[in-house]
Structure 1
Amino acid sequence: MHDVTSQAGFASPDLSAFCRLDELGLVAVGQRLEPDRAVLACRVVEPDQWCRRCGCEGVPRDTVTRRLAHEPFGWRPTSLEVIVRRYRCSGCGHVWRQGTSLAAEPRAKLSRRGLRWALEAIVVQHLSVARVAEGLGVAWDTANDAVLAEGRRVLIGDRARFDGVAAIGVDEHVWRHTRRGDKYVTVIIDLTAVRAGTGPARLLDMVAGRSKQAFKTWLADRDEAWRDGIEVVAMDGFTGFKTAAAEELPGAVAVMDPFYADVLVMPMSVVFALLRGLSGAVRSA
């Protein structure tokens, strides 16, 4: 029988590569298929045998198991049972574990690939947190807490997102469909790349409420050099936003035309899909 695998660019089957464990510093050493999930036994690739206190070499002591929800394959939840070696220092007696930071954040219940899958499922595929939790095989709170923390880190924690901004868009949206709490959020979008024809819009920030004061306070919190660099503010017909922009960005031009309105539609829809998924008030399946 003619073997065409090498000619077609195929490599030998590799479970670690297929499940993208190599990106996490892990290698698969076993598998178990259960009725409701697949479980992969893994070990940490890097030995990590040197003492972090005195630098002496450690002696293997025992192992512990860290369990992580991983990205599903074929919508069957996949769990990782990571075998983590513990060492005792031959010099000072200090005990430590192999580092697993490539695989997951400390005390996290989702692997980094599982967390990335959850974010993409909510933001790109517009799935609910309930559906994401089902795909990961975890509780709703586990999925929601993990995605909320990562969303804040990726979207709001990146201070570099303010660099080079010359055109912004502002709009309000109903994001909480409950009787309690503020239903509105003000969203500020970077339109610099759209205006220049070099790329898409980017999220800058989200502020609770939809008042003039909410937007004015946000603008006032930016440094003077940043405010002086804003040339265009695109907005809807709400006079509060226009007044806030006039007071805090006197050198900017306020615009409201079909072009900027259309530009805001797609980034807003993505943002609000994320908000709906991240919101603790929304638990619809």
Structure 2
Amino acid sequence: MSDVTFTAPDLTTFTGLDELGLEVTGQWLEPERAVLACRVVEPDEWCRRCGCQGIPRDTVTRRLAHEPFGWRPTTLLVTIRRYRCTGCGHVWRQDTTKAAAPRAKISRSGLRWALVGLVCQHLSMARIAEGLAVSWNTANDAVLAEGRQQLIDDPHRLDGVRVVGVDEHCWRHTRRGDKFVTVIIDLTPVRDGTGAARLLDMIDGRSKQAFKTWLADRDQAWRDAIEVVAMDGFSGFKTATTEELPDATTVMDPFHVVRLAGEALDQCRRRVQQRLHGRRGRKNDPLYRARRTLHTGADLLTDRQQTRLEALFAGDEHVEVEATWGIYQRMIAAYREPDRAKGRVLMQQLIDSISAGVPGALTEVISLGRTLKKRAEDVLAYFAWPGTSNGPTEALNGRLEHLRGLALGFRNLTHYIARALLETGGFRPRLHPGL
């Protein structure tokens, strides 16, 4: 710092108004706000109708919310000169489109600050409106319109997508209306190791027709480029993919496959609990105390957990739970096998073993076997496409849950979809290269 040459302060450059075609002529500072008086730099004195030179007539003032400094709301009072043509008599005012859109109440720098805050810093709309010193509706309408124009409606947003994930998402917890939407995720960066998953779109409803219609609306070249579609066990997504993307490979991701086995284990535990005690589990019941330990991988069990399971399976009254637990552990072992080829063999053996010849008492295993046999091709496809999983889709669902909590809930689905796309659409590098 000893060699730095300081120059005279330039408030116009400091506040970024030179980019807006404005120049600061005065300031008024208070602890709660700042007001900057500005003028338009370009004279704009030539008539737009006949081309004759105009003469100054009067001035008008335009008020714009600007990017806050130190979270102090900043307002621009822009003095705009009006001219009257000496030829045709037409009256016009100086062009301020560099500073703000026509009829806008927020400057372009203020909109950029708000959009970065919304997308990159995950600020609430209320906090953005407070920083700009405008109403919530003004901030919301302006920011969403800017985000849609600059980011969501980008024609190249869907370019390069080769791996797609599809899942349902509950966007509101009310009794009125449809609560679920279908979310479509780009998993290409995850499989290539180049970045995080991003939200491509969100569709009202969760059905085969909803996903099929969305795929049909894409151009043929885009559909031909899709190699893999990761999904849960919902057959509607499978059918829609088969009909619209016949060359793509469908993968039932490990998260949902293991969850099916985990649900079978829980159902078996509850059934045995009811049969032995005639009631739900209580904190001192062995089966209830071991409910979480049963879902822990065998290679991750602590000595205390191992002892608890040995005590649980010591007698014959819990033999059905022990058998179902064994199926669950075999599934986990297949997915955790470092050798993909060996893991596929283990999974194939597991599916074959529970698809036929299972004792009638193991009703949950029989139901699981029917499901896995029906979707065996999709389950085994995971081992041929390593890294293809709906896990990132579930992670994005978690971020959407955070968004809904941040906004204290949503009522308008269109508004929610726009906010969700900005929140999880992978727009960060384009908004600010340094972030």
TM more than 0.5? yes
Aligned to 2:188: 192
TM-score, length of structure 1 as denominator length: 0.84
Greater displacement, 61-70 / 49-58: 49-58
Deviation at 1:268, TM superposition (A): 5.5
Describe the SS at the equivalent of 2:49: coil
Range with bigger deviation, 37-46 or 190-199: 190-199
3-state secondary structure, aligned to 2:223: helix
| Residues 139, 191 of structure 1: alpha-carbon distance in 2 compared, 3 angstrom cutoff | same
Partner of 2:115: 119
Check 1:41–1:246 CA distance in 2 against 1; reply closer, same or farther (3 A cut): same
In the alignment, does 2:387 pair up with 1:281?
Answer: no
Pair 1:88 & 2:217 matched: no
Counterpart of 2:137 (choices 113, 136, 141) is 141
Residue aligning to 2:156 = 160
Instruction: Give the match for residue 229 of structure 1.
Output: 225
Task: Determine if the alignment matches structure 1 residue 252 to structure 2 residue 382.
Answer: no
d(CA) in 1 for partners of 2:143, 2:402:
13
Contact persistence 1:133–1:143 (CA under 8 A): yes
Q: Distance in 2 between matches of 1:192 and 1:150?
A: 27
Distance apart, 1:226 and its partner CA: 1.8
Return 77-86 or 30-39, whichever deviates more: 30-39
Q: 1:17 aligns with which of 5, 13, 21?
A: 13
Which deviates the most, 22-31 or 204-213? 204-213
Alpha-carbon distance between aligned partners in 1 of 2:401 and 2:22, rounded to the nearest angstrom: 35
Residue 60 of structure 1 is matched in structure 2 by 56
What is the CA–CA distance in structure 1 between the aligned matches of 2:235 and 2:7, rounded to whole Å? 62
* Residue aligning to 1:102: 98
Corresponding position: 1:47 with 2:177? no
C-alpha distance in structure 2 between counterparts of 1:37 and 1:154, whole Å:
29
Range moving further from structure 2, 77-86 or 203-212: 203-212
User: Structure 1 residues 49, 277: closer, same or farther in 2, change over 3 A?
Assistant: farther
Letter in 1 for 2:411: A
Counterpart secondary structure, 1:170? strand
Query: 2:26 and 2:185 mapped to 1: Cα distance?
Result: 47
Shift of the alpha carbon at 1:199?
A: 4.4
- Cα offset, 1:188, TM superposition: 2.4
Alpha-carbon distance change, 272 to 21 in structure 1, aligned in 2, over 3 angstroms: farther
Contact 1:169 / 1:264 at 8 angstroms: preserved in 2? Answer: yes
Q: Could you tell me which amino acid in structure 1 is paired with residue 188 of structure 2?
A: T
Are the counterparts in 1 of residues 172 and 410 from structure 2 also a CA contact under 8 Å? no
Structure 2, unaligned stretches of length 5 or more?
A: 256-386, 413-435
Q: Summarize the Cα distance change of 1:139–1:222 in structure 2 as closer, same or farther, 3 Å threshold.
A: same
SS in 2 for 1:162: coil
3-state SS, counterpart of residue 99 of structure 2: coil
Q: What's the CA shift for 1:137?
A: 0.9
Question: Which position in structure 1 is the counterpart of 2:239?
Answer: 243
Output the CA distance in 2 between the equivalents of 1:26 and 1:213: 52
Match of 2:66 among 47, 70, 77: 70
Separation of aligned partners in 2, 1:40 and 1:63: 17
TM-score (norm. length: structure 2) = 0.57
Tell me, yes or no, if the aligned pair for 2:35 and 2:74 is still in contact at 8 Å: yes
Cα offset for 1:35?
A: 4.8
Larger % of strand: which? 1
- The answer for unaligned runs of 5 or more in structure 1 is none
Equivalent position to 1:30, from 5, 26, 29: 26
Q: Deviations over 1:28-79 (max 9, x none)?
A: 1111123531111111222222222222222222211111111111111111
**Alpha-carbon offset, residue 266 of structure 1:** 5.9
Given that 2:26 and 2:37 are in contact with CA atoms closer than 8 Å, whether structure 1 keeps it comes out as yes
Q: Is the 8 A contact 1:129 1:278 kept in 2?
A: no
Q: CA RMSD in A?
A: 2.8
Q: CA deviation at 1:10?
A: 4.4
Kindly provide the CA deviation profile for residues 91-147 of structure 1, in whole angstroms up to 9, marking residues without a partner as x: 222222222112112111111121122222222222221222111111111111112
Identity %: 68
Higher mean displacement: 55-64 or 217-226: 55-64
Q: CA deviation at 1:274?
A: 6.3
Letter in 1 for 2:38: C
Bigger Rg, which one: 2
Say how many residue pairs are matched. Answer: 278
1:280 Cα deviation from its structure 2 partner? 5.8
What is the 5 A alignment of 1:204-215?
A: 204-215=200-211
Q: CA, structure 1 residues 65+135, in 2 after alignment: closer, same or farther (shift >3 Å)?
A: same
Query: More helix by proportion, 1 or 2?
Result: 2
What SS is found at the alignment partner of 2:103?
coil
* CA distance in 2 between partners of 1:266 and 1:39 (Å): 43
